[in-house]
């Protein structure tokens, strides 16, 4: 695998380093070796570590089976990478990409700390569980079985409510984390995936349709539908809250939305199954392309993008340049 990485990165070296010089990100926090992108290759049980300056894959970390999504621990000292069929969290130093070990946990696919960091909520997609762990001890506090294939999640800013999409049940489910009860469960459309709390509402990607919906977090009422593209999969908001991006899996597009109106500003054509993304300090978007074994680096101004070869089925992506930002870092807030 290392040989493979080396072979396939060699032809890119001259090209990518010339591209990268002008856009070198500012320095990271003390202890950081370099600005790094960590790409979770679900299809080959590895994490590709890319030097964001040279855009080379500098190392490939083995995982157990199937890395997917990530979360930073509240103290930012560890990056937890979900390894779903490996039944483990793969722990990595977010600054250096040094492996720090594993923690056994049942089928973690997607996860997130509540904003108050009291709980770690884990969607176990294969076994239809939503598990709530204590944010400090990581002991299981509550297990819900709310439907089929729990997929993505987000929280209300006051940490009281969790919103989890059920990919196999076509529902969005909300849990009250103060008394560990289910608040409501509503049908939202075929195969819901990405979830984002935004402006007091919940935005949900409907992968079996062509856009996102806006949901009232109080009662689960569907307020409106916004067309983005076929197979709307995941949703992100930029750090400055200026743009919402939706990756459309079937359409092979990335849609930029106005956060105030949810009007479509622009569609970028990025074939290869766009999935998760990160925003680099230079404003470029690093997008995992599931079917292309590559990460696309998109200039959202010009619409141009280049690719960096990674492993099979790249899924989640963590840019450690995000460590400069204050406050809680999540996969959905770029």
Partner 1 sequence: MFLDRFFSIIAGDIDQWLILPVLYHFGWMEWEELSFDWALICVYGMFAVIVTYAVCWPLEALFPVERWASRKAVGVDVLYTILNRVGVIPIVSFLLFYQLQVVFTGTLVDWGFVPPDLEMWIPALFGHPVITFLIYALILDFADYWRHRLSHTFRAWYALHALHHAQRQMSFWSDDRNHILDDLISFVWFFVIGLAIGIPPLQFPLLILLLRFIESLSHANIRLSFGWLGERLLVSPRFHRLHHALKGAGRKSCNYGGVFPYWDMMFGTADFSDLYLPTGDARAPEALATGGYLAQQWTGAKMFAGAMFKRG
- Which of 204/323 has CB closer to partner 1? 204
Shortest Å, Cβ 325 to partner 1: 30
- Which of 147/281 has CB closer to partner 1? 147
Residues that bind partner 1 (CB under 8 A): 1, 3-4, 7-8, 43-46, 62, 64-65, 85-88, 99, 102, 104-107, 124-129, 143, 145, 148-149, 167-168, 190-191, 207-208, 230-231, 249-250, 252, 271-273, 290-293, 309, 312-313
- Which of 150/300 has CB closer to partner 1? 150
- Which of 1/223 has CB closer to partner 1? 1
**Distance between CA atoms of residues 22 and 282, nearest Å:** 10
Shortest Å, Cβ 80 to partner 1: 16
CA dihedral 144, 150, 152, 155 (to 10 degrees): -20
Shortest Å, Cβ 129 to partner 1: 7
User: Which DSSP symbol is given to 26?
Assistant: P
**Distance between CA atoms of residues 64 and 45, nearest Å:** 6
Shortest Å, Cβ 318 to partner 1: 20
Task: Categorise residue 225: left if φ over 0, alpha if ψ from -120 to 50, beta otherwise.
Answer: beta
Shortest Å, Cβ 125 to partner 1: 8
- Which of 35/314 has CB closer to partner 1? 314
Contacts of 98 (CB under 8 A, 6+ apart): 92
**Residues 143, 129: contact at Cβ < 8 Å?**
yes
- Reduced to 3 states (helix: H, G, I; strand: E, B; else coil), residue 6 is helix
CA dihedral 304, 7, 320, 129 (to 10 degrees): 100
């Amino acid at each position: 695998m290392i040989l493979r990485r080396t072979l396939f990165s060699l032809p890119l070296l001259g090209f990518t380093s010339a591209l990268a010089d002008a856009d070198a990100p500012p320095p990271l926090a003390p202890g950081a070796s370099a600005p790094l992108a960590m790409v979770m290759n679900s299809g080959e049980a590895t994490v590709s570590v890319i030097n964001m300056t040279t855009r080379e894959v500098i190392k490939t970390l083995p995982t157990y089976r199937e890395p997917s999504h990530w979360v930073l621990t509240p103290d930012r000292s560890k990056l937890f990478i979900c390894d779903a069929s490996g039944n483990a969290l793969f722990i990595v130093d977010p600054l250096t990409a040094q492996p720090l070990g594993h923690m056994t946990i049942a089928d973690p696919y997607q996860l997130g700390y509540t904003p108050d960091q009291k709980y770690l909520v884990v969607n176990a997609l294969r076994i239809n569980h939503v598990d709530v762990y204590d944010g400090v001890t990581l002991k299981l506090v509550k297990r819900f079985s709310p439907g089929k294939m729990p997929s993505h999640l987000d929280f209300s800013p006051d940490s009281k409510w969790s919103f989890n999409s059920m990919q196999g049940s076509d529902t969005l489910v909300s849990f009250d984390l103060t008394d560990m009860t289910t608040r409501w469960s509503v049908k939202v459309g075929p195969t819901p995936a990405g979830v984002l709390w935004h402006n007091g509402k919940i935005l949900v990607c409907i992968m079996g349709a062509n856009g996102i919906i806006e949901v009232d977090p109080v009662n689960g009422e569907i307020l409106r539908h916004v067309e983005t593209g076929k197979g709307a999969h995941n949703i992100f908001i930029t750090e400055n809250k200026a743009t919402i991006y939706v990756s459309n899996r079937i359409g092979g597009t990335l849609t930029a939305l106005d956060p105030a109106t949810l009007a479509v500003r622009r569609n970028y054509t990025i074939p290869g199954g766009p999935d998760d993304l990160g925003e680099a300090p230079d404003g470029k978007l690093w997008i995992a392309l599931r079917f292309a074994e590559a990460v696309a680096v998109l200039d959202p101004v010009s619409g141009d993008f280049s690719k960096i070869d990674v492993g099979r089925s790249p899924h989640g992506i963590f840019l450690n340049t995000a460590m400069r930002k204050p406050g809680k870092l999540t996969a959905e807030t770029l």
